[in-house]
Amino acid sequence: MTSIPEWFKERFPSIIELTRFHATEYPTPPNLNYSWAFGVLIMVFFMVQVITGIGAAMFYKPDAALAFDSIERFRRHVHWGWLLQSIHAVGPTFIFASIYAHIGRGMYYGSYKAPREIIWWIGVFLLMAMMMESFMGYVLPWGQMSYWAGTVITGLASVIPIVGDTLVTWVRGDYLLSDATLNRFYSLHIALFPLAMIGGLIVLHIMALHDVGSNNPVGVQPKKENKVPFYPYYVVKDFYVVALVFTFFLFIIFFYPNLFLEPENFQKANPALTPPEIKPEWYFLPFFAMLRSIPSKLLGVIVLWLSLWILLFLPFIDRSPVKSGRYRPVKRWMDAVFFVNFALLSYLGAHPPRGAYLAAARVATLVYFGYFVLLFIVSLYEKKPDELTMYENEPSRITLHAGSSKAIWLGILIVALGALNIRAFTFDFPSKETIDKGKAVYEAKGKMCHDMFFVGEKAMLSPEDRLSMLGILPPDISLKSKSMVERSPREFLSQFIGKIPEGSKMAVVFTPEEVDQLVAFLEYSSDPSIFLRGRIGPWVVFFMSVFTVLLYLLYKEVWRLKYLSLERFPAA
């Protein structure tokens, strides 16, 4: 009987050869550590973004009057819409965390050096494309921070001499962000960038990588006969890493879905009201800090772009023949300072550019660019280490990536996942009884002052309850627990406990118990999926934890059985 692979090989032989070359039989160095799994993580999270984005695109309306409401209705009224929306909103955080870790690993181990310069350049262009894709997606929710961040970023093009203002108008499709902006950003976000640009660059990145082969922590390539096929050895290892990261990812989705989201963005865009501080998502903050540290707008934009484009010249800046930072002690310290400085820039980008923050941002910007200048100088004069000479000229060894510390790492893994499960199963979701009492407090003391437009029948409010006196729509508090910026709803309501606030025209007071109940109702009104998340979240985290441990044991066992009697491999 003909097997399925043989059946396909007779009718479509090129697809079988393509799969063998790029997936199953691709020869891989046997000593790759866990940092090489970040590339797979990027690809997996990108696929997740595409899948969840398709679901969200079916209900999104690129209209300035409807965009904000359409996302809320998708999250509240579409089956599992809350899950798709949360995954799509939190996904970029994990993508960019993986991207920065992937780039950092490449910088430390010299993966930009010959013959991998093209791989590095494609990767840098992928970073830029991902940033543009994420920026356009950030504008689409049409919240306060989306609108004003979009206004600031698109306005940067105005610094271009002669054509700057015209270019800004062309990008926006109007003089201000409007329906035209949403339509073109929506089209680019769901079509051109994810499919044509990012998808194409990912394919080219993988093809270029597999043509010249993967780098490794030592920087010396083993002989072909000493390499291992990608399947099953690195497939099971990458599956384990993906499962581990997804366990933490799903924990955030179910228990802290708004952890990485800007509270201001839960208020509908208002062109007449500027937020106190306009800032982008965290993964743009290092570059945002460099932009704001320069007093000249034109020079700031030049520094912003140069901070990305300089990465393209890294293969020419670093002149050392040594690849791995493992054998370059000076560069190892420089890399550590560079990574810490990058994190510091991210912190400074989240604070206003004045006083000590501004001074620190300027110093950190100099350190960022100083790294590349110093690397060029160091690479010319640093002494070639004896360790590498041994690797190149003697019958040296490359250590197999399958250590004997399985029990230790398995114990750490189980303890970490166990702590995550304890937190998941003991997470304090508000009870239905408390929420019902909070609704009664709202009806008695709040509905005449505030509407809950997005809740409606979800909060068991009758249509007449949602109408105010004289037909005037009162301020909506459907998203109040998410949109509080300076203080939480509990802190806000606490000022009304037991007394009439000074200067208030309404004698509305709350007992401490009523504050707890009203806060629970506000949390529910902001996120009606709270019951479902509390019911299934702990079991999802538990399943992923068990699955991760089993994949870890499988990964270690596959390597142990294949190389039971081998510990090292001769280098080329």
Catalytic: which of 22, 77, 210, 406?
A: 210
Within 8 A by CB and 6+ apart from 318, the residues are 110, 112, 113, 375, 376, 379
In the residue annotation, 451 being an active-site residue is answered as no
Residues 273, 505: Cα–Cα separation, whole Å: 25
User: In terms of C-beta density within 10 A (0-12 exposed, 13-18 middle, 19 or more buried), how is residue 71 classed?
Assistant: buried
Catalytic: which of 133, 238, 318, 523?
A: 238
Calculated CA dihedral for residues 339, 344, 346, 348, nearest 10 degrees = -160
In the residue annotation, 22 being an active-site residue is answered as no
User: In terms of C-beta density within 10 A (0-12 exposed, 13-18 middle, 19 or more buried), how is residue 126 classed?
Assistant: buried
Q: List, in sequence order, every residue forming a beta bridge with 570; answer none if it has no partner.
A: 397
For residues 26 and 230, the answer to whether their CB atoms sit within 8 Å is yes
For residues 173 and 184, the answer to whether their CB atoms sit within 8 Å is yes
Alpha-carbon distance values, 111 to 100, 162, 213, 335, 525 (Å):
14, 40, 11, 14, 50
Catalytic: which of 72, 281, 318, 514?
A: 281
Nearest partner of 432 among 338, 340, 535, judged by Cα: 535
In the residue annotation, 237 being an active-site residue is answered as yes
Helix (H/G/I), strand (E/B), else coil: 499: coil
Catalytic: which of 214, 324, 481, 526?
A: 214
In the residue annotation, 210 being an active-site residue is answered as yes
Catalytic: which of 113, 237, 331, 351?
A: 237
Can you point out the beta strands (E) in 171-293? 228-229
Q: Are strands 397-399 and 228-229 parallel, antiparallel or unpaired?
A: unpaired
Active-site residue list: 210, 214, 237-238, 281
